[in-house]
A = this chain, B = another copy of it.
Amino acid sequence: EFVARPVGVCSMLRLPVQTSAEGLDAAFVGVPLDTGTSNRPGARFGPQQIRAESVMVRRYNVSTGAAPFDSLLVADVGDVNVNLYNLPNSCRRIYESYQKIVASGCVPLTLGGDHTVTYPILQAVAEKHGPVGLVHVDAHTDTSDMALGEKIYHGTPFRRCVDEGLLDCSRVVQIGIRGSSYAPDPYKYCWDQGFRVVPAEECWMKSLVPLMEEVRQQMGDGPVYISFDIDGLDPAYAPGTGTPEIAGLTPMQALEIIRGCKGLNIVGCDLVEVAPIYDVSGNTALLGANLLFEMLCVLPG
């Protein structure tokens, strides 16, 4: 029976809520952590708001023809019980939760939370699948080494991943990078690792379909993880985020990127940095919900 949009105890895409990912092909997971944020906090309420706005998303992807629920068993497995007062402990909690989720082959689709969460997620994912290729959309490379002596916060996850060998560095692409920087050569670290960096300037007023063809070549058949920081998009489209940068990507380009991942061997995805209080319309969260649905639509199988 038809259900009105405001009806229901909210879960992602109105999916059933269950505590285990056992037997699932894919699972939405919330990680309500934002204590790794350098500027405006609030992404801890990202999972809640993305779930709430996901009532607008329906079964079928008209543009691509995808019907993910016809071929995949999917559920919402709730939130990781993070420790808001201790980032390393939260990372351990996330890692352990994801170990269980990925154990039986389930693909996790994460509702962040700030970008710190991708580090422990990739620990679990790489433990299962080996070093992964990475399609990373963001205004920032998130490859700082530390701040005030801290190795873990939302500016460092991919540095930590490199340190631990979680990434197949020649299969990493970072798209949408921009903004001023603390150092004169901010991409040096990335290039040294073999990452491809695609600054936002190279994307302005362009279709990214050709770029994604190259990305598919780069990724090959190996396992791939998609990490999508909503601040990769311009703040006009995603005002509800903690560290916005001007002159970013558009939602059309976001769709081109995600849809361009079709055919890859995707083993995990996340959508991070939605901080709802900075966009009380709910539209940033709605955008996040749609992008997560699009990720579901390009999963293998």
Contacts and interface: CB of A to CB of B under 8 A. Distances in A.
Interface of A: 1-11, 17, 30, 32, 34-42, 44-45, 47-48, 51-52, 55-63, 65, 67, 76, 78-87, 89, 147-150, 152-153, 178-184, 186-187, 199, 201, 204-207, 234-237, 239-240, 243-247, 250-252, 254-255, 277-283, 286-287, 290, 293
Given A246-B286, A287-B246, A56 B85 contact: no
18 contacts: A1-B148, A4-B147, A6-B44, A6-B84, A9-B10, A10-B48, A35-B41, A60-B181, A62-B180, A67-B184, A85-B153, A89-B150, A180-B293, A204-B252, A239-B281, A239-B283, A278-B283, A279-B281
The main secondary structure of chain A at its interface with chain B is loop
Which of A61, A239, A281, A293 lies at the interface centre, i.e. has the most chain B CB atoms within 10 A of its CB? A281
Given A2-B148, A59-B182, A235-B286, 19 more contacts: A4-B44, A6-B39, A9-B9, A9-B51, A17-B17, A40-B282, A41-B44, A58-B180, A60-B181, A60-B183, A62-B199, A85-B87, A85-B152, A205-B206, A234-B251, A239-B283, A246-B251, A278-B280, A278-B283
A59 B180 contact: yes
A245 B278 CA distance: 19
A84 B37 CA distance: 8
A140 to B, nearest CB: 11
Contact of A82 (B4, B56, B244, B277): B4
Given A60-B183, A237-B236, A286-B244, A277 B148 contact: no
A181 B82 contact: no
Q: How many copies does the complex hold?
A: 6
Contact of A63 (B201, B207, B234): B201
A5 B82 CA distance: 10
Contacts of A55: 39
